Amino acid sequence: ALPEGYLFRREQGSLYLGPSAPSEPPFPETPLAWPGTTEVNGWRFHLRLFPCPENWRERLPQGRWRVWLDAERIAGRLSLRSRRPGDRFQPLGFIGSKSLQDFFVDRKVPRSRRDGVPLVVDGGGILWVVGYAIAHRARLREGTQQVLEMEAVPPS
């Protein structure tokens, strides 16, 4: 028997003994202002619209905390939330959809952190697994007219 508050846990192929890892708090479903700034759970999300530059491939490289999406591919309102059972999306460059659960396993996201990963969603589903990947359907492409820039600033 382990002392109260201690447990064994496996993360990324290693076994740890220590205090139970507190799960990160889930994100309540929150509408995102666009353009504008939204704060939730200590995070700040900045969204802005601008015309797509001709040389967008060089000028707009995707990053972990800042992404650019085709604004015309967004269906309905944008909101922020945590994962839900059965969530699926098509990560950028993938053929077909993938369960968010499998995506987290493949990316080696510890179970204790998964509820704390913000998801940006619209009426069509997941657009951005913040810090990890955008949805293929919302990528910039030839012919994109309007760009939605999204920047996530994690709590310090």
Pairing of strands 119-122, 79-81: antiparallel
pTM for the model = 0.85
**Which tops the pLDDT comparison, 63 or 117?**
117
The dihedrals phi and psi of 64, each to the nearest 5 degrees, come to -70, -40
| Domain residue ranges of the chain, discontinuous segments joined by + | 24-153
- The residue-averaged pLDDT of 6-32 equals 71
| 145, two tokens | 């007219």
- The residue-averaged pLDDT of 15-25 equals 64
| Cβ atoms < 10 Å from Cβ of 67 | 25
pLDDT digits (tens, 9 = 90+) for 64-107: 999 999 999 999 999 999 999 999 999 999 999 999 999 999 99
- The residue-averaged pLDDT of 1-29 equals 67
> Which of 26-35, 58-67, 74-83 is the most confident on average?
74-83
**Which tops the pLDDT comparison, 6 or 123?**
123
Per-residue confidence (pLDDT) for residue 108, from 0 to 100: 93
Angstrom CA distances, 86 to 122, 125, 133, stand at 16, 11, 18
The dihedrals phi and psi of 119, each to the nearest 5 degrees, come to -120, 130
In this predicted structure, the answer to whether residue 21 has a pLDDT above a threshold of 60 is: no
